[in-house]
Amino acid sequence: MDFLLRRQREEQVKSEGRLPPGQALTQKFPVLHYGPVPVYKDLSAWTFSVSGLVDEEKTWSWDDFNKLPRRKVTYDLHCVTGWSKFDTAWEGVHLTDLVDAGIIRIRPEARFCIQHCEYGYTTNTPLEVVLASNFLMATHYDGKPLDPEHGYPLRGLMGALAGDKQDSDRYLWKGGKWLRGLEFTATDRPGFWEQAGYSNSANIWREERYWRGL
Ligand SMILES: Nc1nc2c(c(=O)[nH]1)N[C@H]1C(S)=C(S)[C@@H](COP(=O)(O)O)O[C@H]1N2
Ligand SMILES: [Mo]
């Protein structure tokens, strides 16, 4: 029964043009990452930093972070390992809102954004990708704070908007769980999975999964 429902749902998103090549629908929410899940006793020592090519580097506490403008957004998620999860409901902070409000002023020389996470994990994208509607700094999934294994208290999230194919649509690993900061740079700096053989560009519609070497 579950199997039939899954197939039906998959046919539906396929007919809507929402299933990228080589992907299959899942109704679960798999957990994927390298290394341990951070444990926070409380968030008093947690900070979020904005660094690199900005007019003013900033560091926010968890309380400060929660005063930033917030949005609710529904994404389709596409993992490089082949599963896609549709119509997922998130809440968090869009970088563009912070830029529009003048809270972060990115310098014109900046071309890339590096997400910095716990334990030194990073992932990198061109600046326009984190400024697109695809990128959310998410605190809530499905109306509740994130589960520890999905990135509590904050994760970078790369999702696709249903029915709105964009050049900035990326696989899910381009969002770093346990996000602690954003760095803006003039040159690109491949992150953890990018150095481990995943594609640097990671476009889901062009099926850029693995790095074939230079
Ligand atoms: N900090 C950190 N974030 C990470 C990863 C990781 O290893 N460390 N893995 C990425 C990968 S490969 C995927 S597919 C997604 C999985 O997110 P999920 O576990 O919430 O499904 O997280 C991404 N973010
Ligand atoms: Mo992944």
Give the distance (Å) from ligand 2 centre to CA of residue 66: 28
Residue 181 clears pLDDT 80, i.e. is over it: yes
What does the pLDDT look like over 50-67, one tens digit per residue?
Answer: 999 999 999 999 999 999
β-bridge partners, 24: 83
Full residue range of the structural domain in which residue 142 is found: 89-214
Residue 214 has pLDDT above 70, yes or no: no
pLDDT at 187: 98
Model pTM above 0.85: yes
Mean predicted lDDT score pLDDT of the chain: 96
Three-point CA angle 81, 86, 89, nearest 5°: 115
Question: What is the dihedral angle through the alpha carbons of 16, 21, 22, 23, rounded to the nearest 10 degrees?
Answer: -40
> Is 46 contained in some domain?
no
Q: Are residues 14 and 96 in the same domain?
A: no
Both 120 and 209 in one domain: the answer is yes
- The string of pLDDT tens digits covering residues 130-161 is 999 999 999 999 999 999 999 999 999 999 99
Rounded mean pLDDT, 46-52: 98
Based on the fold, state whether residues 135 and 209 are members of the same structural domain.
yes
User: 5 and 103: one domain?
Assistant: no
Position 2 in a domain: yes
Which of 173, 182, 194, 199 gets mutated to test ligand 1 (max ligand atoms within 8 A of its CB)? 173
**What's the domain count of the chain?**
2
Q: Does any domain span residue 42?
A: no
Residues 13-20, mean pLDDT to the nearest whole number: 96
Average confidence (pLDDT) over 69-93: 97
Establish whether residue 154 lines the binding site of ligand 1, counting it when its CB lies within 6 angstroms of any ligand atom.
Answer: no
The answer, yes or no, to whether any atom of ligand 1 lies below 6 A from the CB of 141, is no
5 pLDDT above the threshold of 80: yes
pLDDT confidence of residue 206: 96
Is residue 155 assigned to a domain? yes
Q: Burial, 136: exposed, middle or buried (Cβ in 10 Å; 0-12, 13-18, 19+)? A: buried
Joined tokens for residue 161 = 């908007």
